[in-house]
Amino acid sequence: MAEKYTPEVEARLRDDAAKVVARYPHSRSAIMPLLHLIQSEDGFCSPRGIVLVADILGLSRAQVSAVATFYSQYRRHPNGEYNVGVCTNALCAVMGGDIIWEELSNYLGIGHDETTEDGKITLEQLECNAGCDYAPVVMVNWEFFDNQTPQSAKDIVDDIRAGKDIHPTRGANTVGTFKEISRVLAGFEDGRVDEGPAAGDASLRGLKIARDNAWTGPQPSGEESK
């Protein structure tokens, strides 16, 4: 039998869940943000959280678990306070991502989806983060750290373990905890949406060249334009 939430915590989660469900024409469509909501409380998709989501949406635990175990952003066991992901997909790998992964794994003494003993860091080997123009890329709680080296990646985890703020290349000025970011992913604003640049010069260079040359895409004509 899954451990239960205290009445106060369950009431709070149900109140938040009602706000999420109200955004959708069909309640079961809210399953993914509700799983993020559970992670914002428990740090993973806990058995008690699965039970609660199933009850709220009128689904079976198996239906909720099927979603929670399919997507990699949902954790099956407690995640660290900061999720450090190293991209080792093709471009990042050849630009040094494989070396960063090996050195960081050895430095922390953990492998993929494992957590340091202090509970601070979960290490993850990531697929493409759509940041190829800044390879190799490391992500901390899904914030970008571009153009990394083995030493800069070690500096990031050292700062995390020392309790210092860490500053991504793009996006928010500082990185929130795994639980804080999970609440944002559940659909609750943290007031930081306009912090920092969303894209850098490398990402926007093609757009600038097109505008400088007044290039435009193919325009529809005839019946296609109606």
121 vs 88: CA distance, rounded Å: 18
The pLDDT assigned to 1 comes to 62
Give the annotated binding-site residues for [2Fe-2S] cluster. 87, 92, 128, 132
The two structure tokens encoding residue 48: 């008690």
The pLDDT assigned to 212 comes to 92
pTM, rounded to two decimals: 0.87
- pLDDT averaged over 10-residue windows placed end to end, the chain, 226 residues: 89 98 96 98 98 98 97 95 96 95 97 96 92 93 95 97 94 93 95 78 86 87 58
The pLDDT assigned to 117 comes to 96
Helices assigned H by DSSP within 69-139: 90-92, 98-108
Q: Are strands 121-126 and 138-140 parallel, antiparallel or unpaired?
A: unpaired
The pLDDT assigned to 217 comes to 82
The pLDDT assigned to 216 comes to 86
4 vs 127: CA distance, rounded Å: 35
Give the annotated binding-site residues. 87, 92, 128, 132
- Give the list of residues 6+ apart from residue 206 with CB closer than 8 angstroms, or none: none
Please name each of the domains of the chain with its CATH number: 7-70 (1.10.10), 82-176 (3.40.30.10)
The pLDDT assigned to 130 comes to 86
